[in-house]
Structure 1
Amino acid sequence: MAAEARDRDDAGRARSARPRDGLGRPLPYGAAGVERQPEGVRRTPGGTVREAQRLLDAGMPFHAHEVFEDAWKSGPEAEAPLWRGLAQLAVGLTHAARGNTVGGARLLRRGAASLAEVPGAHGMDVPGLVRWAGELAHRVADGAVVDAAREAPRLRGGGSAS
């Protein structure tokens, strides 16, 4: 059996070119999808928060996670736990909105635990985000249907957008 050709990025790394929906799920080639976030973008912390909030408010937590991941990987080591915890919250919301209650609740709790060790930073209400994640994880574990845009957290001010 011949190996199928894999999609590659400009650097030759394997990278799927399939379009994705707002929750990051792959769509068939040729389908209209949501534009992917460019990788490796260096933003200011404020720029990271603004772009991630825009994506969360639009119901695209998978894409917000990519923004947090860029900050985690390119920012100061001392801030890695903050950005990693936020990325975990965004992925938890993604899984919950996709109907993966076990994975969603687990990632929301993991992100909340990571953030519980981080002082507030860049104007974000970290204790409010920890509360939001814990409450949502509990509801998700109980089988709640999650709408990503309606459940989006407020990065500055805590709680959800609704």
Structure 2
Amino acid sequence: MTGPRAVVIGVGNDYRHDDGIGPAVARRLESLRIPAVRVAQCDGEPTGLLDLWAGLELAVVVDAVRCDPPAPGRVWRTTVEDLRGCPRAAGSHALGVADALPLARVLGQAPAELVVVAVEAQCLDPGVGLSGPVAAAVPDAVAAVLSELARLGLRPAGAGPPD
């Protein structure tokens, strides 16, 4: 058996409403048991990310963002570099990821490719449970991650080849 080729990192905090989208998506993906894919949850602290993605072909980070104008529940694929252009990526950990990537490159621990699946948050206040629009976006976020993994031929066990 070979080791993982990719990692999916659900970044967030289940006790800050929509900030829990990353962990929610990670839990859903973990249940799929995708061969050669490690699924993890992280609070977004930069050094905590380094060990998770070191030496892998692909790291997919799932995180909540808040942009202006708001569109709660919108799922989009981006890169760390492009996310810096979101003027109000407030309340997310994407900036922690952005800090971690240059450090990882210097230390030789960066993944070959890093993709962010961003889900726009409605509420990042303390409390449990995703808002309606963000909860409804979980399947779309899972599908976005699966699409990224499929580019490497990584699919859930029992899933056939692409159509």
Q: TM-score, normalised by structure 2?
A: 0.27
Report which of the two structures shows the higher radius of gyration computed on alpha carbons. Answer: 1
Structure with the larger RCO, 1 or 2 (CA within 8 Å, 6+ apart) = 2
Q: Decide which structure has greater helix share.
A: 1
The structure where strand makes up a greater share of residues is 2
Tell me the TM-score normalized by structure 1: 0.27
